[in-house]
Structure 1
């Protein structure tokens, strides 16, 4: 087996699982992971300086020919929990099924996000061993709790800001190389996130006096809450084309068939129509053209025969570029339209700033894509639907991008945070080439 793949498998077998309640996280495992990295990548550790930040995050510094406008490559050490019985293969055995081009590596973290992390390590190790010195300083930022609080990345940003470091290019996990992501477009597209949606959580709470379930009131708190949830579901946020989505469609227009080509080239006129159509073409397209809100948790009475004194719904909202936490909260109150249902903000952050899809930083990413992943791949700006640690870096850089350099199928993308996460070995190895190209151009 390829030595790079062997190292990847060894790191995948270390279960760096993070939990929302960090007291449940086994931090000793993260220490084991850091020790394994040092053993597996000796040239990297001899040349780059390494710091622990916020306990378990790792920050590496590779001194280049100049220190201004450094490159930051991001990834995270932690993975989400698993339900082993749901998996066809042991999630931490890093088992390879098949041979040659059909070989598939099954493991939690194979894509999210040890795939990128280990590909970065491999690229740096190879370049250091070859005697390469980057034109600019390079930082490797590996957060330990991206899947939960993101405190590690925030601490790294604070440290870099204190040192006066202002990166010229930051690249974190994000969109992949995909087929058929945009209706009618058959060329493979590298989806590079130039922004990400904001994220917030609201609680809807209806209250009543309580009592025995044998004598319910005419309109109990649970029914009032159910009506509020139904209203929210039946009145979604309006559709529109945010600037990153508009840029994506305009850029891909030459590769789209008619009449889509004409529609994508005339978005100043056709934008509302296009947004409405895209919203009906599946969850990903819908999430690209509107702020989404979904009830994720319900809480009521403590017993089967007890009336709830309060019934609460947790609503997760992802904000489209241009929307705000304050505006979304007020809209939910208007839609619920019931003063007896309390709407409270648990936490939230507005959408990230939008990074440019032109200029030197963008060209470096697009060139690395073409050189390593195929000249037929079209690099597109897009709006990242989920949140990542990269949002914290927008405080110190105007060029923050989100891209995972792997050609992923729909089924492979669906396995993220679910069971049977996996990546094709050949696809992962090509990803190393992407980071080598990007580092060589930096």
Structure 2
């Protein structure tokens, strides 16, 4: 008989890698993954109804005593590509490294996001085997391309919207249980995303007539493009405290020492100074107080001795609550201040609406955190820095939250989308209990 850890490792070994160009995706691996889920979780597939959406996404319905106000538990099947040579251990072998409390599973997707997906199924499987019937319907929504387009999640939302379903609580991947993220705060905090930043890709293009590199013009296209990128870098978006960040600081203020407690409790006066400090405390803290913009892709001439007729740069912009795709584009245009550099929004979505951090839905999350993960953990609102599939669910629910129920160290968080992704076995097993508590309270 297999254990939860055995099942987790088996699913981690299936490389369900997504690519922006979906013609490069090995869909047979997703079919293998779905077949493994059906085999490993027989009670779930006996009790819950399952349907395939958008070709590869999975939507399960657990019929409860009341169909109204359902719970939606989200995760995604796909993982980002790997550079195997960078990994200390093979990324799709799911090796357990270390002993005791330090034993960790090393694999792509261990945290992002098969950790949540499998933990959800473990909780549901055990309850289904026990004969439990939820008070309200429970849906499991597992998208297949969260790391790229998110089309699977959008399609799932379309299905639910067409059926008139309005969830009372939606929870997806997001913040985790962390230590020491907020300066001066030593208690562990469960960072529950009540909103997430918007995301957009802005393409910059500079053009020229071309020719031989031995006779360049005074301002070649590459130099014009470099100047535009440099201006964006030297003139970052202004700092400010958005509503979710204000709520976070207010919540953790009682757990901060003086004089920091007074600083967090008087943000109307201390806000400008605090944002200036946060901006210098590293990428994470900087990103919660401003919209960020960074050039991620560059292209120029096809040969090293050829002038580029077209020089392009992709700028990834993450929008702080209150900014929009339109306002960020206009600001970039003003900062670049060069009419010969073309700006084009390729992809863009505004920041999500902000879900409340008071009320029944919030209490359910906080109670599950306390009972499953630790009574000493402070549950706090949080602004999620990255985008997730949950943003599409805000059209059918006012209570959409982003939280991964694992106690993660800084190095573990840094490994997301990088090499040596891993999760400690004990930490992952506790996460199962969080989802069980949510379902029991459904």
Indicate whether the TM-score tops 0.5: yes
The alignment status of 1:74 with 2:74, answered yes or no, reads: yes
Q: Give the equivalent residue in structure 2 for 1:235.
A: 235
For structure 2, list consecutive stretches of 5 or more residues without a partner in the other structure: none
1:18 partner SS: coil
Task: String of CA shifts for 1:228-259, please: whole Å, max 9, x gaps.
Answer: 11111000000000000000000000001111
Most deviating of 224-233 and 240-249: 224-233
Unaligned runs of 5+ in 1: none
Deviation at 1:100, TM superposition (A): 2.1
Which position in structure 1 is the counterpart of 2:141? 141
Residue of structure 2 in register with 1:406 after alignment? 406
Structure 1's consecutive aligned runs of 4 or more residues displaced over 6 angstroms after TM superposition are: none
- Residue 244 in structure 1 maps to residue 238 in structure 2: no
Alpha-carbon deviation of 1:97? 1.0
State the distance in 1 between where 2:87 and 2:270 align.
Answer: 45
Cα distance in 2 between the residues matched to 1:346 and 1:153: 20
Structure 2 Cα separation of the partners of residues 344 and 113 of structure 1: 32
Distance 1:221 1:19 in 2: 30
Which residue matches 2:224?
224
Q: Distance in 2 between matches of 1:205 and 1:363?
A: 49
**CA–CA distance in structure 2, aligned partners of residues 233 and 54 of structure 1:** 39
Distance in 1 between residues matched to 2:346 and 2:92, nearest whole Å: 34
Instruction: Calculate the TM-score normalised by the size of structure 1.
Output: 0.99
Q: Name whichever of 1-10 and 329-338 sits farther off.
A: 1-10
Secondary structure of residue in 2 paired with 1:70: strand
Residue matched to 1:15: 15
Q: Cα offset for 1:304?
A: 0.6
Corresponding position of 2:369: 369
Determine helix, strand or coil for the equivalent of 1:125: helix
Task: State the alpha-carbon separation in 1 of the partners of residues 4 and 219 from structure 2.
Answer: 63
- For 1:146 and 1:224, how far apart are their aligned partners in 2? 35
1:385-415: CA deviations, max 9, x gaps?
Answer: 0000000000100000000000000000000
Deviations 1:4-25 (A, max 9, x none): 1000001111111111110110
In structure 2, C-alpha distance between the alignment counterparts of 1:13 and 1:219, rounded to whole Å: 51
Q: State TM-score, norm by structure 2.
A: 0.99
1:269-284 equivalent positions in 2, closer than 5 A: 269-284=269-284
1:378, 1:141 → 2: CA distance?
27
Quote the Cα distance in structure 1 between the aligned partners of 2:240 and 2:113. Answer: 31
User: What residue in structure 1 maps to residue 93 of structure 2?
Assistant: 93
Q: Deviations over 1:291-349 (max 9, x none)?
A: 00001111111111101111111100000000000000000000001111111211201
Counterpart in 2 of 1:391? 391
Post-superposition Cα deviations, 1:181-222, rounded to whole Å, max 9, x if no partner, equal 100000000000000000001111111111001111111111
Per the alignment, residue 157 of structure 1 pairs with 157
**Number of equivalences:** 442
* Cα separation, 2, equivalents of 1:344 and 1:62: 44
2:36 matches 1:42: no
Write the distance in 2 (CA, Å) between the matches of 1:268 and 1:137.
43
Q: Does 1:112 align with 2:112?
A: yes
Tell me the equivalent position of 1:427.
427
Give SS of 2:73's match.
strand
**SS of corresponding position for 2:30:** helix
Give the SS at the match of 1:212: coil
Cα offset, 1:118, TM superposition = 0.3
1:125 matched residue in structure 2: 125
How many Å apart are 1:353 and its aligned residue?
0.3
5 Å matches for 1:48-59? 48-59=48-59
Q: What secondary structure is seen at the aligned counterpart in 1 of 2:183? A: coil
Residues 11-64 of structure 1, C-alpha deviation per residue, up to 9 Å, x if partnerless?
111111111110110111111111110111111110000000000100000011
Residue 166 of structure 1 aligns with which residue? 166
> 1:354-411 deviations in whole A, cap 9, x for unaligned?
0000000000000000001101100010000000000000010000000000000000
* SS, match of residue 416 in structure 1: coil
Aligned-partner Cα distance in 2 for 1:237–1:29: 42
Q: What SS is found at the alignment partner of 2:218?
A: coil
Where does residue 360 of structure 2 map in the other structure? 360
**What is the SS of the residue equivalent to 1:357?**
coil
Tell me the CA shift for residue 2 of structure 1: 7.3
Other-structure match for 1:6? 6
Q: Partner of 1:265 in structure 2?
A: 265
Query: Partner of 1:285 in structure 2?
Result: 285
In 2, Cα distance between equivalents of 1:185 and 1:293: 29
Q: Which residue number in structure 1 is paired with residue 314 of structure 2? A: 314
Specify the SS of the correspondent of 2:140. Answer: strand
For 1:109-149, what per-residue CA distance to the aligned partner results, in whole angstroms no more than 9, with x for missing partners? 00000000000000000111112111110000000111111
Task: Look up the SS of the partner of 1:184 in the other structure.
Answer: coil
Q: CA deviation at 1:99?
A: 2.1
Q: Aligned with 1:315: secondary structure?
A: strand
**In 2, Cα distance between the equivalents of 1:348 and 1:393?**
17
Instruction: Give distance in 2, aligned partners of 1:310 and 1:94.
Output: 44
Paired with 1:304 and 1:358, the residues of 2 have a C-alpha distance of 59
Residue 256 of structure 2: aligned partner:
256
Match of 1:439 in 2: 439
SS at match of 2:293: strand
